Amino acid sequence: MTKWPVLARHAHAAAWLRAWEDLGRAPRTMDAYARGLAEYLELCEREGVNPLAAGRVHIAVFVRVLTTRPHRRGANVVSIESGAGLTNATIQQRLVPVRLFYDFLVEEGLRESNPVGRGRYTPGRRSTRHRGLVPRLSKLPWIPNEQQWRDFLEVARREPVRNRVLLAHAYDAALRREELCSLRTDDLDPAHRTVRVRAETTKNRLERVVPYSAPTGVLLADYLRHRTAISRARGPLFLSESRRNYGQPLSLWTWSQVVRVSRCRLVSSGSPRTPPAICA
């Protein structure tokens, strides 16, 4: 609530968020819910609209604001997009908490309907498809060509061994940022070249065991020898080497900074096309 004061001014919004928090939603999920709902409530206040009485027209205004507002990083956006507004996926993310909030109001008897439509498909002989409020775009993944891979590997080659192991595990095992940074020494099985991804670190709360390649195993062995100079204690696998947080678990923010700096180096190297990224 302290991060988004507007939520404290709306009792029903605060109660809805508190209910999700009591149900054990992850902190990052709660932050995404709070951000999306706060942006909507701020718009309602600017427009002089009571959120409890808002209709589809007011939701449409919210969508228009999301799709047309200037990007906060302006010309520093490295993307094929225009740099204005939010991406389709982010708009969908912003609409989810608003939709869930109105579901809550309907369940509590404070509204008769939800103004945020949801797409649905009814199978059968006369199947019907109802489009959501904002069409969901599904883009093909970006696949680098041979030269782009070489440029990428050249940038990665100059990174410290810890960062190379992080990159190798992210590629081999398709690990998300939180899964990667949350790995522990006892999650590794070097004999079988596998790593256990614990349920509490995954997005779907399902544990899995994933393999990694032989070259990644060589890098990992080098890093484990390097890690003993920082700490011999078992626990988080990847440790910070900065003077401020020396020996502490690597944070999500630190790994994001590593990726961001590497992307900027790739851009400055003159690679003809790089993945969408933001360079300061």
CATH code of the domain containing 217: 1.10.443.10
The per-residue pLDDT for range 113-154, each reduced to its tens digit, is 999 877 654 454 554 445 566 777 777 877 888 988 888 888
Which residue, 152, 151, 156, is CA-closest to 166?
156
Residue 203 has pLDDT above 70, yes or no: yes
Q: State the average pLDDT over residues 35-43.
A: 94
Same domain, 155 and 263: yes
CATH number for the domain spanning 50: value is 1.10.150.130
Interior/surface letters 194-225, b for 16+ CB within 10 angstroms, e for the rest: ebebeeebbeeeeeeeeebeeebeebbeebee
Which pLDDT band holds residue 270 (cuts at 50, 70, 90)? low
Summary mean pLDDT of the chain:
84
Same domain, 11 and 58: yes
Residue 15 has pLDDT above 50, yes or no: yes
Q: State the average pLDDT over residues 26-34.
A: 88
Residue that finishes a domain, picked among 81, 102, 119: 119
Domain that holds residue 104: 5-119
Q: Are 249 and 138 in contact (CB under 8 A)?
A: no
Q: Is residue 141 in a domain?
A: no
Predicted pLDDT of residue 152 = 86
Predicted pLDDT of residue 215 = 94
Predicted pLDDT of residue 79 = 45
* Helical (H) or strand (E) element with 278: strand 277-278
Predicted pLDDT of residue 72 = 61
Q: Is residue 22 in a domain?
A: yes
Predicted pLDDT of residue 40 = 95
Q: Is residue 107 in a domain?
A: yes
H helix intervals, 174-240: 177-181, 214-227
User: What is the model's pTM?
Assistant: 0.67
Residue that finishes a domain, picked among 78, 100, 119: 119
Same domain, 87 and 154: no
Same domain, 162 and 266: yes
The per-residue pLDDT for range 210-235, each reduced to its tens digit, is 999 999 999 999 999 999 999 999 99
Same domain, 154 and 260: yes
Q: Is residue 42 in a domain?
A: yes
Same domain, 65 and 183: no
Same domain, 45 and 92: yes
Q: Is residue 129 in a domain?
A: no
**Count of domains forming the chain:** 2
Q: Is residue 134 in a domain?
A: no
Q: Is residue 176 in a domain?
A: yes
The per-residue pLDDT for range 52-86, each reduced to its tens digit, is 999 999 999 999 898 887 666 554 444 444 455 67
Same domain, 272 and 178: yes
Residue that finishes a domain, picked among 100, 119, 138: 119
Q: Is residue 131 in a domain?
A: no
Predicted pLDDT of residue 277 = 41
Same domain, 185 and 234: yes
Cα 252 to Cα 182: distance, rounded to the nearest angstrom = 9
Cα 155 to Cα 159: distance, rounded to the nearest angstrom = 7
